[in-house]
Structure 1
Amino acid sequence: MSHESYELKAEARERVGKGSARELRRNGLIPAVIYGDKQPPISITLNTNDVTKRIHAGGFMTTIVTIDIGGKKIKVLPKDYHLDPVRDFTMHVDFLRVSGNTQVTVEIPVHFINEDKSPGIKVGGVVNIVRHEVEVHCPADAIPEAFTVDLTGAKIGDSIHISQITLPKGVVPVITDRDFTIATIIAPAGGLSGEEGEEEA
């Protein structure tokens, strides 16, 4: 499962537009919108510090959030956010309403383990990461925190494909027409001393 769900306090926002948004930011608030689930969008404001803290904690885009608008609680998933390019503070957030049967499209990070058990890395090879994240369709209430790639036994020339990752039930890659590559083990630029194993099929 992804990071533990949390709650954010919000207020309904009557005025919209650039002038209103600037005024909110001066007061330490972020304009945001909740949409989806065949319901009209709701404009809200959130505390800037609360949201920025959550963004920097990691897993922001893959964690269900409960938005409390004056006692009315709505479950959502962050779909997009904009940062000020100069001052790096949050400018705006879009949230998607979710329910038990909502399917979402998210990017899941890929983690690599057991590099010390890879013959290819032991002789100087390196992991060439082709995809740091994999985009998948999955239930909103069952978003994986990460995919783990075990490098045990990986040799120079080996490729790790999506088929080698055990995906949780209901999780399907967006790319379905090929067994795409996640990473490869490649020889270092200076070459290797000694011989490495042949590439596996």
Structure 2
Amino acid sequence: MVQTIRIEAAARERAGKGAARATRRGGSVPAVIYGAKQEATLLALDPRDVMKELHKGGWQSHLYEVAVAGGPTERCLMRDVQFHPVSDQPIHVDFQRLAAGQKIRVRVPVLLLGEDVSPGIKAGGVANLVRRDLEVLADPDNVPERFEVDLSAAEIGDTIRWSAVKDQQGAVPTLDRDFVVLTVAPPTVAEAEVVIAAPAPAAEPAKGKGGKGAAKPAASAAAAKAPAKKK
């Protein structure tokens, strides 16, 4: 079952931009609950409560019980938050009221099972999780905590789709097809790089003082060894 988060709220009597600005000047965030063929309920929220939910992430998939002071508690989804263009603080929140029997859109994480015995994984394959969580429509009172994917018989090259997911608990995917959840990819082999060193350039002969070239070393050595002529 999905976690239900309770938010305390105060009622607002007037609608309109002027009333909303007055609510903000009073240190609260104006909000509204609409839907289920009922009249809209105007609210004022503590900005700290709003920011706490935004920092959690995934707030559009959470189920809320908004307790209005002096009024009923309403089951809602937080559908939209408007922010100040400069301060980036929330300035308005829209809640959608849940009607009886209405399903909610949520994201459910995927849990992998049997990786330690999977033939494909043992052979060096890699579990490529295409979708780490799955977006589904579910009954608010029967939302799965996770979707389990069994890899105990998966081979390299296998593809696991939505239809193979265990314990769907009546959830319906928002994608209208049997989409891919995971593949077992073959091992990646890195190609060895072969570096061929370029030959070193031949050294140029040193030039002598004569300008056109240096004296040959062999000739110079022979001249030094020859005996001096007698006069």
Partner secondary structure for residue 49 of structure 2: helix
1:136 aligns with 2:136: yes
Question: How much has 1:38 moved relative to structure 2?
Answer: 0.7
1:190 aligns with 2:189: yes
Checking the alignment, whether the CA contact within 8 Å between 2:78 and 2:95 is kept in structure 1 is yes
| Count of aligned pairs between the two proteins | 189
Map of 2:48 onto structure 1: 49
- Report 1:7-86 matches (<5 A): 7-13=6-12, 14-17=14-17, 20=20, 24=24, 27=27, 29-57=28-56, 60-72=59-71, 73-81=73-81
Q: Distance in 1 between matches of 2:134 and 2:83?
A: 23
Checking the alignment, whether the CA contact within 8 Å between 2:2 and 2:143 is kept in structure 1 is yes
Q: Distance in 2 between matches of 1:117 and 1:100?
A: 44
Checking the alignment, whether the CA contact within 8 Å between 1:62 and 1:143 is kept in structure 2 is no
Please give the root-mean-square deviation of Cα atoms over the aligned residues, in Å: 3.3
Largest Rg, 1 or 2: 2
Map of 2:218 onto structure 1: none
Question: How much has 1:172 moved relative to structure 2?
Answer: 1.6
Checking the alignment, whether the CA contact within 8 Å between 1:147 and 1:165 is kept in structure 2 is yes
Partner secondary structure for residue 116 of structure 1: coil
Q: Distance in 1 between matches of 2:62 and 2:68?
A: 19
Q: Distance in 1 between matches of 2:49 and 2:63?
A: 15
Checking the alignment, whether the CA contact within 8 Å between 2:2 and 2:141 is kept in structure 1 is no
Q: Distance in 2 between matches of 1:188 and 1:7?
A: 48
- TM-score under structure 2 normalisation? 0.65
If each structure's strand is expressed as a fraction of its own residues, which one has the higher value?
A: 1
Greater length-normalized contact order (CA 8 Å, ≥ 6 residues apart): 1
Map of 1:181 onto structure 2: 180
Identity within the alignment, %: 37
Deviating more after overlay: 53-62 vs 18-27: 18-27
Question: How much has 1:148 moved relative to structure 2?
Answer: 2.2
Q: Distance in 2 between matches of 1:138 and 1:96?
A: 16
Map of 1:163 onto structure 2: 163
Spell out, residue by residue over 1:165-201, the C-alpha distance to the aligned partner (whole angstroms, 9 max, x if none).
Answer: 134443222334x32111112124426xxxxxxxxxx
Distance 1:188 1:173, change over 3 A: same
Q: Distance in 2 between matches of 1:68 and 1:33?
A: 13
- TM-score under structure 1 normalisation? 0.73
Q: Structure 1 regions of 5+ residues with no counterpart?
A: 192-201
Q: Distance in 2 between matches of 1:9 and 1:174?
A: 31
Checking the alignment, whether the CA contact within 8 Å between 1:60 and 1:78 is kept in structure 2 is yes
Q: Distance in 2 between matches of 1:84 and 1:20?
A: 13
The code of the aligned residue for 1:36 comes to: G
The code of the aligned residue for 2:74 comes to: I
Partner secondary structure for residue 116 of structure 2: helix
Map of 1:97 onto structure 2: 97
Distance 1:11 1:181, change over 3 A: same
Partner secondary structure for residue 137 of structure 1: strand
Question: How much has 1:158 moved relative to structure 2?
Answer: 1.4
